[in-house]
Amino acid sequence: MGNKKELKLAILAGLLLLTALIAYSFGTDSAPGPKPPLLASFTRLEGYQLTQQIDLAPEAYAMLRLDDYLFADYSGNNQVINLYIGLYYSAAQAYAAHSPLVCYPSQGWEIENRPAKRSLDVGPYVVNYEEIVTSYNDQRELVTYWYQAHDRSSTQVYRNKIDMAYNKIRNKDESHAFIRVSVPFTTNTRDQAQEATRHFIQAFLPRFIDYLDNSNS
């Protein structure tokens, strides 16, 4: 009985310490400097070429409280892939990103399945993401999305905030991003769309982590 009580107290103390750590980290001043423009930094990825930059509507840009973004189509490996990066310099914008579970239905798209949680090893990193299938008339897309705080990824806002707090202590930077990869497919090629998504993330993620690290140095 005594051991259980001590364990509960230890867990409570740990949670209080974590809460204090996050509050302290987010409460202290930081001065994140501007980073190189995403568009100029990601015109090419290994095996892929940016083919079209898509501009967000001014009201969408304001609603998302973005510091920078990239919304573009890439071509490579006989596949068209759409990439969205919503970049934020401060933890104050932790809740600014909008999940595809909200954005797609608001634009008339149907979500065909509950989000499936996946993970992917990319060299020394692990990407934790969610995957859904969306459809609009005869169009279907495999949509993959996650939060990225330097080399840490997550699918939940609260975990992303913890990752930001850790990064602020570790390297004095709390920049973070919401990332979405969309791949169109037909009924018979969902497996290929999943493989194309994984291949693209393998090419993209190390470059993006380098971008965050180098722009903070």
The conformation of residue 57, written as its DSSP 8-state character, comes to P
Of all residues in the chain, the percent with pLDDT exceeding 90 is 53
Return the C-alpha torsion angle 31, 37, 38, 39, nearest 10.
Answer: 170
pTM value is: 0.82
Nearest to 117 by CA among 149, 141, 145, 92: 145
Determine the pLDDT at residue 51.
Answer: 97
State residue 6's pLDDT score: 56
Write the pLDDT tens digit of every residue in 183-216.
999 866 889 999 999 999 999 999 999 998 876 6
Q: Which of 23-27, 105-109, 160-164, 189-193 has the lowest mean pLDDT?
A: 23-27
* Distance from C-alpha of 110 to C-alpha of 101, rounded to nearest angstrom: 10
Residue identified by tokens 């634009």 is 107
Q: Name 136's bridge partners.
A: 139
Please, which residues bridge with residue 129 across strands?
Answer: 118
Given the structure tokens 């009924």, which residue do they identify? Answer: 187
**Domains, the chain, with CATH or none:** 31-216 (3.40.1000)
Return the amino acid letter for 93.
Q
Amino acid at 2: G
Kindly report, residue by residue over 18-71, the tens digit of the pLDDT: 554 444 444 444 445 678 999 999 999 999 999 999 999 998 888 899 999 999
Give the pLDDT of residue 100: 87
Q: Which residue is listed with tokens 């914008």?
A: 93
Average pLDDT of every residue of the chain: 84
The predicted pLDDT at position 98 comes to 76
